[in-house]
Structures are given as C-alpha cells and as structure tokens.
Homo-oligomer: A and B are copies of this chain.
C-alpha cells in the first residue's frame, strides 16, 4: 500500500522511521534512530527527506522544525494541506479544506501572487490534552 519501489535504502529507512513514530521527528532524531542502520551524518537524513518531500510522502512542519509522514499518502498534489499540532502530546492532525484553498486562491488572484508552497499550521491543545477526562489517551 505505502510501498514505493522507487525509494533508495536511505529514503526507505527514513520513511519507515517517520511512519513508526506517533509524533513528528526532527532530522537529528531520525539520525539517532538510524545510527544502527549505518547513518552517520545529518546530510544523509536531509537528502532522504528532500526526496520524500518531493514525492509527497513526508511533510515538514515549519513551526516546529520537524517532519511527519504524510497521513494521506495518496495523491494530494493539488490540495492545500493544514496541520493541527498539539504542543503537549505532539500529535499532529493533517487535513485539507477546499474553502480555505478557495479563499487563498482569491487573494492570490487579486494580488497576482504566484505561490509555490503554502504552510498552514495551528499549534495548541488537542481534544485529549485539553480535557483529559474526555476519554482519549494522552501519549507518553
């Protein structure tokens, strides 16, 4: 399902590390996780991340300088993606909203701006962390 035969060994290892994590990982955390697999330098991680981002399999969260595996590894080439990031448990919710895309599209047209990358990130508390009595579990 999420197999990508095109991936090199390094790219596959980085993607696997991100896929197994419940929260976003920094490049240096990934490096540490992959030391046993022969990783020695940040560039090995960054190069793999670059490629994975190109392929749409990984996203960078600008506001926390960390990376997540795409939650919808199908093609969302044309969608604008948004993230809700919990500052307590670290969990991330990836979603898209046609309405937001349409509003931004209006602004872009009116101002003749040519966007190449759009970042939408909300930081705050997820439902579980905001109200622990609500039943959901809070990760380690």
A residues bordering B, Cβ < 8 Å? 62-63, 82, 84, 87, 93, 95, 97, 99-100, 102-104, 107-108, 111-127, 130-131, 134
Q: Which residues does chain B contribute within 8 Å of A107, judged by CB atoms?
A: 82, 84, 95, 97
Task: Please indicate the chain B residues that have their CB under 8 angstroms from the CB of A84 in the complex.
Answer: 107-108, 111, 113, 115
User: Which chain B residues border A115 with CB–CB below 8 Å?
Assistant: 84, 122-124
Tell whether, in the assembled complex, residue A103 and residue B104 are in contact, meaning their CB atoms are under 8 Å apart: no
In the bound complex, do residue A127 and residue B113 qualify as a contact, i.e. CB atoms below 8 Å apart? yes
Copies of this protein in the complex? 2
Q: Are A122 and B118 in contact (CB under 8 A)?
A: yes
Q: Measured between C-beta atoms, what is the minimum distance from A68 to chain B in Å?
A: 15
**Interfacial chain B residues near A123, Cβ < 8 Å:** 115-119
How far, in angstroms, from A60 to B87 measured CA to CA in the complex? 18
- Quick check: A124 and B119 within 8 Å, CB to CB? no
How long is the Cα–Cα vector from A62 to B100 in the complex, in angstroms? 20
Nearest CB of chain B from residue A112's CB, rounded to whole Å: 4
Instruction: Collect the chain B residues with CB atoms within 8 Å of residue A114's CB.
Output: 124-125, 130
Of the A-B pairs whose beta carbons lie under 8 Å apart in the complex, a sample of 6, sorted by A's number, is A84-B111, A99-B103, A112-B134, A113-B125, A114-B124, A115-B122
**Whole-angstrom distance from the CB of A117 to the nearest CB of chain B?**
5
Q: What 7 pairs between A and B have smallest CB-CB spacing?
A: A112-B127, A115-B124, A99-B103, A62-B62, A114-B125, A116-B124, A115-B122
